[in-house]
Amino acid sequence: MTEKKYSFVIAGGGSTYTPGIILVLLDNLDKFPIRKIMFYDNLASRQKIVADACEILIKERAPEIEFVQTTDPKEAFTDVDFVMAQIRVGLYAMREKDEKIPLKYGVIGQETCGPGGIAYGLRSIPGVIEILDYMEKYSPDAWMLNYSNPAAIVAEATRRLRPNSKIINMCDMPVLIKDRMVEVLGLKSRLELQESYFGLNHFGWWTDLRDRNTGRDLMPELKKWVSEQGYTLPAERDHQGLDQSWMDTFAKSKEVYDIDPNTLPNTYLQYYMYPDDMVKHTDPNYTRANQVIDGREKTVFGMCKRITDRGSSEGEVLELDEHATYIVELARALAYNTNDQMLLIVPNDGAVSNFDETAMVEVPCLVGSNGPCPISQGKIPQFQKGLMEQQVSVEKLAVDALIEHSYQKLWQALTLSRTVPNARVAKQILDDLIEANKDFWPELK
């Protein structure tokens, strides 16, 4: 019998993350054979920059793989096994507004947290649903691996609007943190870590980490490290090549850890535990969007243009990125029924036993060809339960607001966010966001 070869479409082909994903796919062909890779985007000019270079990479390393770049949904979504979705509706121009508008009022300006995250959510949902519908129309057996942000709000929307669809929402933040843990512990790979974790996306905690092979409890060593310097690594062991703002985030985890030394926190909790510190350390005229435009986008697109101009990747340093490794591991688990354990965003359904069954939670799951099967995390402590109930309500109200075109519910969502001081400020920010998003949001009543 010949081995099955798989077909992928990357939706949001023009993303800065696309070359990294292609490199990981090309690096794993022995474990995961591929017959076709397609790029789909609704902005041909942006996609072309990335796609022309990736086509060269594919030709160099695996010329037998068919490659297509297209803006035609029918072409893109026909004959695919996996859709990897990484769209950014409104591009960095809108990310910049999501970040800068709340900051005008002294409130966190962030891609996925607080008012900016809510604003992005209302743009992202229709875009993600559109792609899911294309997949179901043209390749009904395919799986969609979605990491388009804000993943928490998008996941709640897909649960509500497309409850039976084969979509898995995911995030790489815990993976990036585990890669740092591995450096501290002197282990070879994060796959050696067995974890217990609960939370919402960008809002979670580890309760246990142990060596998968020996069962050794790793929490004491990890807690000692985080209590001293957060997730900061000694420079010689930090291979993630991160910007200063990310280094500051990893250091800040010390203070997030201090609030509950029984658990180890996700970095994103800094925005909810210390909102005023975060505002104080942000330049309202030069936010993360500006850093990414001047940093990652320039670097990735510059590399792509050089490869295309030369017609070859010779001389380029091509690095596999961990973000992409995780996505390929998930696709492999689905394709080969590996039953690997992964942290995913799934309907709670009792996995956290004292929490809303209808919430989309982030918990470890066993992943096989029938999808993710959440692993029970039992009861969670009052502190986290209280925080999560508030935050999940923000996310649910944001989705309600979009579905019902409700101004009132969106105002409530912003008011309920821990990042917003009061209802008046929530309304001021909301009114500015409505104006900024008028090309994307429905009219709210």
Q: Does 149 bind ligand G6P (CB under 6 A)?
A: yes
Strand ranges (E), 294-349: 340-347
**DSSP notation for 155-194:** HHHHHHH-TTS-EEE--SHHHHHHHHHHHHHT-S-GGGEE
Question: Exactly one of 55, 136, 156, 172 binds ligand NAD (CB under 6 A); which one?
Answer: 172
Sign of CA dihedral 255, 256, 257, 259: positive
Q: Out of ligand NAD, ligand G6P, Mn ion, none, which partner does residue 87 contact, by CB within 5 to 8 A per kind?
A: ligand NAD
Stretch that binds ligand NAD, among 27-35, 144-152, 206-214, 392-400 (CB under 6 A): 144-152
Q: Does 173 bind ligand G6P (CB under 6 A)?
A: yes
Identity of the amino acid at 212: R
Task: Tell me whether residue 13 or residue 374 sits nearer to ligand NAD (CB atom).
Answer: 13
**Residue carrying the six token digits 């709670």:** 348
Spell out, one character per residue from 117 to 136, where the chain touches ligand NAD: x when CB under 6 A holds, - when not: ----------x---------
Task: Tell me whether residue 172 or residue 400 sits nearer to ligand G6P (CB atom).
Answer: 172
Q: Which residues contact 147 (CB under 8 A, 6 or more apart)?
A: 84, 85, 86, 169, 170, 171, 172, 327
Question: Exactly one of 98, 136, 156, 172 binds ligand G6P (CB under 6 A); which one?
Answer: 172
Q: Does 171 bind ligand G6P (CB under 6 A)?
A: yes
Q: What are phi and psi of 190, to 5 degrees?
A: -65, -15
**DSSP notation for 116-135:** HHHHHHHHHHHHHHHHHHHH
Per CB under 5 A, contacts with Mn ion among 132-171 are: 171
Nearest to 321 by CA among 46, 11, 25: 25
Q: Does 441 bind ligand NAD (CB under 6 A)?
A: no
User: Closest distance between ligand NAD and the C-beta of residue 425, in Å?
Assistant: 25
Question: Exactly one of 7, 8, 10, 17 binds ligand NAD (CB under 6 A); which one?
Answer: 17
Nearest to 300 by CA among 278, 280, 316, 282: 316
Q: Does 15 bind ligand NAD (CB under 6 A)?
A: yes
Q: Does 178 bind ligand NAD (CB under 6 A)?
A: no
Q: Which residues bind Mn ion (CB under 5 A)?
A: 171, 173
